[in-house]
Amino acid sequence: MKEEMSYSEDLFMPVSKEEKNAERIHRPSIKYWADVWRRLKMNKLAMSGLIIILLFIIMAIVGTKINGFKYYEQDLNVINQKPNLVHWFGTDELGRDLFTRTWFGARYSILIGFMAAFLDFLIGVIYGGVAGMANRRVDSLMMRIAEIIYSIPYLLVVILLSVVFGQGDSLFVMILAMSLTGWVPMAILVRGQVLQLKESEYAMASESLGATKKWILKKHIIPNTLGPILVNITLAVPTAIFAEATLSFLGLGLQPPKSSLGTLANDGLAGLAVGNGYQILIPAVFISLIMFSFNVLGDGLRDALDPRLRK
């Protein structure tokens, strides 16, 4: 009570609503994707993954033309050379330049990875979307079929298909074979999202306002499913690269003179026995690095997309 005289009477005048609204301060609001990008940028591991991937893509495009050798060029005078100034990654047992061959191989590995992931995405989204939007009986039938396909180990399918069709140009067969089972997780994911969103209140609100199914799909379901799909694609790429490398390592992949990182590693294994460890080391490190980069990027994306993890 002792301080009461220190306030002027004017301060006790009532304020109107308009006066109040004029000077509101709010926390800066951030758009969803901008926020995702901001959080992804804070994740150093994911960002280094992204940078490595970009470097790999650039090198896969231009890397074969840098030191003047061709990937199929044999020079029996320089077989099994250790990395040196002329042959930066050394040469193989036929005297082929490994620097050029590595980037040529990386090109195929990355191509296979992206193509397979894209096919997974395409088939998965269509199949999952249709199952999710369809009536219950069709939906459960479609999911049963997907389940059966998924329980077949994909590498067996890939092996079978490459045995059957694998004689000539095996690239296309390999990509096809990988997507044959690879689309199922994507389809399950998409269907789950569609079902969840179909039942959710905002889709219902939209429907009650007269929106068509197509509209709901376009305006609500696709934007909301985009995040998990993006993560899934990012993680499908290394899966395909891994499958290709394993197949090639088993001698079922690309046929020479074509090379991928997997076939290079397979060739290198022979070199290992006679003490040319570098021949397997470089493709091995490269495969691991690509896998690592995609995996950390996928993880980072998943974390960044989850608003609950928002810091």
Partner 1 sequence: MENILEIKDLKISFKTFFGEVEAVRGINFDVGKKETVAIVGESGCGKSVTANSIMQLLPMPPAFFKGGEILFNGENLLNKTEKEMQKIRGNKISMVFQDPMTSLNPTMRIGDQIVEGLKKHRKLTAKEAEKKAIEMLELVSVPQPEKRVKQYPHEFSGGMRQRVMIALAMVCTPELLIADEPTTALDVTVQAQILDLMKKLQDKLDMSIILITHDLGVVADMSDRIVVMYAGQIVESGLTDDIFKNPHHPYTKRLLASVPSLDMSKDEPLHAIDGTPPDLYIPPKGCAFYDRCDRALKICKDYMPESTQHSDTHCSSCWLNHPMAQKVNGTERREA
Partner 2 sequence: MAKYIIKRVAISLVTIWAIITITFILMHSVPGNPFRSESKMPPGVYENLLKKYGLDKPLPEQYTIYLKRLLKGDFGESMKSRVETVNDMINRGFPVSAYLGLQALIIALCFGPALGVIAALNQNKWPDYLSMVIAILGISVPSFIMGTIFIQFLARNISWLPIAGWGTFAHTILPSLALAMMPLAYIARLMRSSMLEILGQDYIKTAKSKGISKSAVVLKHAVRNAILPIVSVLGTLVSNLLVGSFVVEKIFGIPGLGMSFVSSISNRDYTLIMGTTIFYAIILIVMLLLVDIAYVFVDPRIKLTKEGR
Contact positions toward partner 2, by CB under 8 A? 144, 147-148, 151-153, 155-156, 159-161, 163-164, 167, 238, 242, 245-246, 249-252, 265, 269, 272, 277, 280, 284, 287-289, 291-292, 295-296, 299
Task: Please choose which of partner 2, partner 1, none residue 310 contacts, taking the beta carbon within 5 to 8 angstroms, the exact cut-off set by kind.
Answer: partner 1
Nearest approach, Cβ of residue 173 and partner 1 (Å): 46
Nearer to partner 2, 222 or 289 (CB): 289
Nearer to partner 1, 4 or 199 (CB): 4
Give the CA distances from residue 236 to residues 156, 188, 191, 194, 273, in Å, rounded to whole numbers and listed in that order.
18, 14, 18, 20, 33
Q: Which residues of this protein are in contact with partner 1, per CB under 8 A?
A: 4, 7, 9-15, 17, 20, 24-27, 310-311
Nearer to partner 1, 21 or 77 (CB): 21
Nearer to partner 2, 129 or 271 (CB): 271
Rounded-to-integer distance, Cα 51 and Cα 235, Å? 16
Task: Please choose which of partner 2, partner 1, none residue 68 contacts, taking the beta carbon within 5 to 8 angstroms, the exact cut-off set by kind.
Answer: none
Q: If we measure between CA atoms, which residue out of 126, 148, 112 comes closest to residue 260?
A: 112
Task: Tell whether omega for the bond before 223 is within 30 degrees of 0, i.e. cis.
Answer: no
Residue 211 sits at φ, ψ, to 5 deg, of: -75, 145
Nearer to partner 1, 37 or 172 (CB): 37
Nearest approach, Cβ of residue 64 and partner 2 (Å): 23
Rounded-to-integer distance, Cα 34 and Cα 226, Å? 15
- The length of the chain is 311
Nearest approach, Cβ of residue 28 and partner 1 (Å): 8
Task: Assess contact for 178 and 162: CB atoms under 8 A.
Answer: no
Nearest approach, Cβ of residue 100 and partner 2 (Å): 22
Task: Please choose which of partner 1, partner 2, none residue 85 contacts, taking the beta carbon within 5 to 8 angstroms, the exact cut-off set by kind.
Answer: none
Q: Residues 236-271, buried b or exposed e (16+ Cβ, 10 A)?
A: bbbbbbbbbbbbbbeebbbbeebbbbbbbbbbbeeb
Nearer to partner 1, 25 or 76 (CB): 25
Q: If we measure between CA atoms, which residue out of 295, 268, 282, 261 comes closest to residue 112?
A: 261
Nearest approach, Cβ of residue 291 and partner 2 (Å): 4
Show the tokens assigned to 121: 């995405």
Nearest approach, Cβ of residue 36 and partner 2 (Å): 18
Nearer to partner 1, 15 or 85 (CB): 15
Task: Please choose which of partner 1, partner 2, none residue 15 contacts, taking the beta carbon within 5 to 8 angstroms, the exact cut-off set by kind.
Answer: partner 1
3-class secondary-structure state, position 28: coil
3-class secondary-structure state, position 91: strand
